[in-house]
Structure 1
Amino acid sequence: METPRIFIISDLHLEHANIMKYCHRDQFEDVQQMNYEMVSRWNQTVGKFDTVYFLGDLVFSRNKGRNIRGWLHKLNGIKIFIWGNHDTYLKCKLPYLVIKFNGEPLLLVHSEDPDGRHNKETLAHTEVCKIITEWKPRWIIHGHHHNNNLQKHPLINNESHMINVSAELLDYRPIELEKLLSMRSR
């Protein structure tokens, strides 16, 4: 049996037709093909016993997420779910998680933006400061920004110590956390 691996991704937005236009998902003909491709790419990458930190916005649906169990069942791996702004249907809302990976504390959150524009889905500025003071993570791994402002939110921003794991930046498949962290400048 292979050693389980750890992956990370955010913002699949399954069932969300408008995201195709908003985030330039032009390679997909329609929402059904997008859904199929993302599930397929996920399962080609992630094994049954791998762990995936999912940083929010799995399903965007008019039916308030009634299909979330169906989607989660289709995706390989053990999923640890951080709440995103489109995850209003979730009963358990884990707003962030601090993990230690190879001894390094990392803050995992849907949106790191503490300026108040997205109050429902972001941590208040004081909460971010408290987490950083107590846990001392040097890097914040987030989603939410997709591929719409790559100047400010590229895959890896070595200057601000932020990593954007929105699906568009990862070819719509989870990325192994160890590989992602090795891409940073030291």
Structure 2
Amino acid sequence: MARFLISDHHFGHDNIIEYCDRPFSSVGEMDTSLLNRHYGTVDTDDLLVHLGDVAMDMSTGEDTIAYFEQLDADLLVRGNHDVGLDPEDAPFPVVDHCTLSHDGYDFYCTHRPADVPDGWDGWVLHGHHHNNDTETYPFVAHDRRRVNVSSELLNFRPLRLDALTDLFESCPDGSRFRDVDAAGEYLDRRE
């Protein structure tokens, strides 16, 4: 069993295609592609922590529940577009934040990096900023111990937590990678 992370699928959100320059011609194509990439990456016995904005669901929570269940995900760290979901109505755990540990690294998981408590000394896993400001919120900002797991920066595929910690071990302090492709190119050059 592996642990995976992702945020900001925004299922059913037509405007996100233009807003984040997603490579899809319609919301139907986007939703199908996001699900197919998920199924091609995550096995049924794996654990998926979703860091928010599953769907564009500001009122009832029904879309968030439906898509979250299609992902067979395990824990939702609620994002600003999941506000229609009452955690008590969800058939899965819904939290505002959580912490994870792996290979000696401690992670604070939140949707918005601005919500990290003062004094947190470990790494921060977040979403919310998509690919709109990768100078400030890149995939990995080793110098700030921040990781942006917005789906656009992960090629719309969940990221294995152990692959992330392996990347940390392979990179010098201060490394910054715009997205997973840039991190992969760096690792390929080292071989």
State whether TM-score is above 0.5: yes
List structure 1 segments (4+ residues) > 6 angstroms apart after TM superposition.
Answer: none
| Structure with greater contact order relative to length (CA < 8 Å, sep ≥ 6) | 1
- Which residue in the other structure is 1:8 paired with? 5
Equivalences, count: 164
| Aligned match of 1:72 | 68
User: The residue matched to 1:129 in structure 2 has which SS?
Assistant: coil
Contact 2:60–2:85 (Cα < 8 Å) also in 1: no
1:22 aligned residue:
19
Identity across matched positions, percent: 30
Q: Which residue of 2 aligns with 1:120?
A: none
Which residue of 1 is the match for residue 79 of structure 2? Answer: 84
Unaligned runs of 5+ in 1: 114-122
Across the aligned residues of Structure 1 and Structure 2, the Cα RMSD in angstroms comes to 1.6
Give the whole-Å Cα distance in 2 for the aligned partners of 1:72 and 1:160. 30
Distance apart, 1:63 and its partner CA: 5.7
Q: Which amino acid aligns with 1:51?
A: L
Cα separation, partners in 2 of 1:174 and 1:140, compared to 1, 3 Å: same
2:117 counterpart letter in structure 1: V
- Are the aligned partners of 2:101 and 2:107 in contact in 1 as well (CA < 8 Å)? yes
Give the SS at the match of 2:18.
helix
The TM-score with structure 1 as length reference comes to 0.82
Could you list the per-position Cα deviations for residues 35-75 of structure 1 after superposition, in whole angstroms to 9, with x for gaps in the alignment? Answer: 00001100110011100110000010466332233212321
TM-score (norm 2): 0.80
Residue 43 of structure 1: aligned partner: 39
* Pairs within 5 Å for 1:130-145: 130=119, 132=120, 136-137=121-122, 139-145=123-129
Matched with 1:54 is: 50
Question: Hey, which of these two has a bigger chunk of helix by percent?
Answer: 2
Corresponding residue number in structure 1 for 2:104: 103
Alpha-carbon displacement from aligned partner over 1:6-40 (angstroms, at most 9, x marks no partner)? 10000000000000011001x21100000000011
